[in-house]
Amino acid sequence: MLYIGIDLGTSAVKLLLMSGDGQIKKIVSREYPIYFPHPGWSEQKPEDWFAETMDGLKELLADCDKNQVSGISFGGQMHGLVILDKDDQVIRPALLWNDGRTWEECDYLNHVVGKEKLSEYTANIAFTGFTAPKILWVRNKEPENFVRIAKIMLPKDYIAYRLTGVHCTDVSDASGMLLFDVKNRRWSKKMCEICGVRPEQLARVYESFQSVGTVLPEIADELGIPHIVKVAAGAGDNAAAAVGTGTVGDGMCNISLGTSGTIFISSEKFGVDRHNALHAFAHADGHYHLMGCMLSAASCNKWWMDGILQTSDYAKEQAAITKLGENHVYFLPYLMGERSPHNDPNARGTFIGMTMDTSRADMTQAVLEGVAFALRDSLEVAKSLGIQIERTKICGGGAKSPLWRKIIANVMNLKVDMIESEEGPALGGAMLAAVACGEYASVEEAARKLVKITKTVEPESELVVKYEERYQKFRQIYPACKSLFQLIQ
């Protein structure tokens, strides 16, 4: 049988076709625009997501035996607010995960409602990217839209709705809304009351590997697939990527170098760090995970290469980097503010340490190292909980760089495992669809049988020592700059 994984990303939707034994048959990608109507704002049109998804599905299925298609599932950008009216029409463009406009609402939630109560209700505190502050923003700033809300959805769930007619979500994606009782895997009545959300406005919650229904007849006919094709709930992009990299079960780790950057640690048990510096979410495997998320990771390198250096030859720029562990230039990668562990929407990208002999290569190296150092910040929080990690998987566009992988291994002092397929959320979505259709008994079984390690980058003791010294300097830069960021907004 054949399974489709749909990764609804920030810049594009990636669609993957997988056979039951894990072979990737075809991959298709479709881009769509992102809008920045004001500094710090970030929006997309859900209708664009669906149009490009359908167009991509038609190309994906063009040359296969469509009667073999058995299931569809998703990975998707998290936290985005999609609101529908009583006729299931989109009310306004979606507010995305990297939208920073809700600082006032976050201040209210964290300091008036209180972080302790938020953590008690949802296992997390308010971040500007989360969905609940966005709902409050609409209530405060666009009351005419707020009163029209009949359904509140997340990005990938809008696609699931358009394919099935079912208003649904999954536990991993719901965990990032700040409306969800993560420990008990259900909506939080208290948080809904705080945000003015009625129960009927929220979707039914499923486990990621559960079927929510079958494709609508008109969708099946348009795509030429059977009417009985199942659609599984899917997962937030990081949980789906964790499935795709085999980061399931207890004590596994994955680092994602995508538009955002994450360190993802799976656990069989529910747990929260006392400062809520890491997100405590439900995992797509039926258990839990901790996650540190930085808002700009590979996007920092893209900004530097495309926008500043105005070059597309990333490999050539990185080839000029020869002095690992010896760079005196530092870069704070906070181009969109920062989430873990600082929770500071005012933070900004910053270079420091340049001298007259600083080179283009030094600046490029600082960008790569700055992302690695910022990821290490979240790893340090996990270590403070007694979690010991010796190795990690790695995925995302940035993971294709051998140099960046080497920097990550030595900054984090972890063995970094490359896997046979680096398709992350799209592959994870296809695997969840396979589980929903009974191809595999569990997510753990699918991961064990399908995910294969092909190469490991080992940390080098000399470089580890050098990077330890530089990391200790890096971690002092943000506190020194924090008050300045507030002045330059």
- 10-residue mean pLDDT series, the chain (489 residues): 97 97 97 94 97 98 97 97 98 95 96 97 93 98 98 98 98 98 98 97 98 98 98 95 92 90 91 87 96 94 98 97 96 93 92 98 98 96 88 91 98 96 89 98 96 96 98 98 91
Give the CATH class of 2-238.
Answer: alpha beta
Label residues 104-121 b or e (16+ Cβ within 10 Å = b).
ebbebbbeebebebbbeb
Query: Judging by beta carbons within 10 Å of its beta carbon (0-12, 13-18, 19+), is residue 284 exposed, middle or buried?
Result: buried
CATH of 246-423+459-489, one of 3.30.43.10, 3.40.718.10, 2.60.40.1840, 3.30.420.40: 3.30.420.40
In this structure, the number of other CB atoms found within 10 A of the CB of residue 320 comes to 12
- Integer Cα distance of 432 and 443 in angstroms: 7
CA-based torsion, 411, 413, 414, 417: positive or negative: positive
Residue 294: predicted pLDDT: 93
- Integer Cα distance of 125 and 145 in angstroms: 26
Residue 424: predicted pLDDT: 82
Asked if the domains 2-238 and 246-423+459-489 are classified in one and the same CATH topology, the answer is yes
- Integer Cα distance of 280 and 437 in angstroms: 29
φ, ψ of residue 211 to 5 degrees: the values are -75, 135
Give the H/E segment covering residue 461: helix 461-487
How big is the CA angle at 409 (ends 404 and 410), to the nearest 5 degrees?
Answer: 100
The reply to whether 285 belongs to the active site is no
Domain parsing of the chain, residue ranges: 2-238, 246-423+459-489
Reported as a single tens digit per residue, the pLDDT across 421-450 is 878 899 999 999 999 999 999 999 999 999
The one catalytic residue in 170, 237, 344, 417 is: 237
Residue 395: predicted pLDDT: 86
In this structure, the number of other CB atoms found within 10 A of the CB of residue 148 comes to 16
How big is the CA angle at 154 (ends 103 and 164), to the nearest 5 degrees?
Answer: 170
3-state SS class at 405: helix
In this structure, the number of other CB atoms found within 10 A of the CB of residue 460 comes to 16
Q: Which two tokens stand for residue 259?
A: 């538009």
Nearest Cα to Cα of residue 197 among 100, 113, 132: 132
Label residues 363-378 b or e (16+ Cβ within 10 Å = b).
bbbbbbbbbbbbbbbb
3-state SS class at 403: helix
- Integer Cα distance of 378 and 178 in angstroms: 20
- Per the document, the length of the chain is 489
Nearest Cα to Cα of residue 246 among 272, 211, 284: 284
Residue 109: predicted pLDDT: 98
- Integer Cα distance of 243 and 432 in angstroms: 8
Nearest Cα to Cα of residue 335 among 375, 371, 291: 371
Residue pointed to by tokens 């997390």: 124
Nearest Cα to Cα of residue 90 among 127, 126, 131, 47: 47
Q: Which two tokens stand for residue 284?
A: 């797509």
Query: With contact defined as beta carbons under 8 Å apart, do 340 and 380 qualify?
Result: no
Binding-site residues for substrate, in ranges, read 78-79
DSSP string, 87-155: TS-B-SPEEPTT--TTHHHHHIIIIIIIHHHHHHHHSS---TTSHHHHHHHHHHH-HHHHTT-SEEE-H
- Integer Cα distance of 153 and 205 in angstroms: 11
**pTM confidence score:** 0.87
Q: Which two tokens stand for residue 411?
A: 């900054």
Q: Which two tokens stand for residue 268?
A: 């069989």
Residue 43: predicted pLDDT: 98
Classify residue 28 by its DSSP letter: E
Binding-site residues, in ranges, read 78-79
Reported as a single tens digit per residue, the pLDDT across 98-112 is 898 999 999 999 999
Residue 464: predicted pLDDT: 98
Residue pointed to by tokens 């640690």: 265
Note the helical H segments in 245-398. Answer: 298-302, 314-319, 360-384
Query: With contact defined as beta carbons under 8 Å apart, do 35 and 10 qualify?
Result: no
Q: Which two tokens stand for residue 113?
A: 């409602």
- Integer Cα distance of 138 and 92 in angstroms: 10
Give the H/E segment covering residue 418: strand 415-419
